[in-house]
Structure 1
């Protein structure tokens, strides 16, 4: 017998003015770094900026290659850099912004599946959720308290 199961995501939709000064700063860094994206195939430029528990901000942009779509996402690049170079310091916030090359308006953005799993792994590593800030096309920002709402069936355990 089948069961109908309902899933609900919890997040906030905020205007720019409703963000804290720190969140605005992080989102501005994500927006700026998106301009350095190497995206000759998709023209979709993504920037990601994260704040470590120490307060330090790291950033990255997506990097494509000719075997498109086998590029590397901005989110995974910056999380990998943080893990390799600041291995004992938790990631507290991650801001993501994107737009098509030449567009004035920001695109609605959300991490891909691989990036969602990488965010999950980082949360598991430090035992704390990462506040996610996602730029929206209308100028608003979505804020999630951790990856759970974006990845309800997380892959947490090889033995489960």
Structure 2
């Protein structure tokens, strides 16, 4: 038997002003993305602002549907939009924030497993790690570099990729 240990790394900031100017700006842009959330059922809005290498920012928000599986998380909305429109402009950083009409959010909200899996494939596609900022507006902020620090056992099989 062999014991293995997996470690993840991330940075925690007490407030927005501890981040560099670019990351502060992206966090504030993610708050703007919340306004287009369609979340009448959960009343839980998620906004994403995604910085591309060219300096362009892509905005996305969660989109719910009364047939629940038909909705889509903000992260996948942003990633799929990027893949369809800007695949040659690498993603540098994604800032993700959330707001609930029902309760206060006091710690960073992490992406769901489906979003992490899509993020993993797009990170591999662009052959470059993506910085993720989980912006909690009323609590700490987490900055995470690369998918391995969020999903260490991601599903990926190189033989499934056709070139």
TM-score normalized by structure 1? 0.90
Structure 1 unaligned blocks of 5 or more: none
3-state SS, counterpart of residue 94 of structure 2: strand
**Structure 1 residue aligned with 2:152:** 152
3-state SS, counterpart of residue 35 of structure 1: helix
User: Is 1:118 the counterpart of 2:138 in the alignment?
Assistant: no
Q: CA deviation at 1:77?
A: 0.5
User: Is 1:52 the counterpart of 2:69 in the alignment?
Assistant: no
**Structure 2 residue aligned with 1:38:** 38
Contact map agreement 1:45 1:99 (CA 8 A) in 2: yes
Distance 1:65 1:158 in 2: 34
Q: CA deviation at 1:137?
A: 6.2
Name whichever structure is richer in helix by fraction. Answer: 2
3-state SS, counterpart of residue 41 of structure 1: coil
Q: CA deviation at 1:36?
A: 1.9
Once superposed, what is the RMSD of the aligned Cα atoms?
A: 1.9
TM-score normalized by structure 2? 0.89
Q: CA deviation at 1:6?
A: 2.6
Structure 2 unaligned blocks of 5 or more: none
What are the within-5 Å matches in structure 2 for residues 7-156 of structure 1? Answer: 7-14=6-13, 15-101=15-101, 105=105, 108-136=108-136, 138-156=138-156
Distance 2:41 2:60 in 1: 18
Runs of 4+ with deviation above 3 angstroms = 102-107
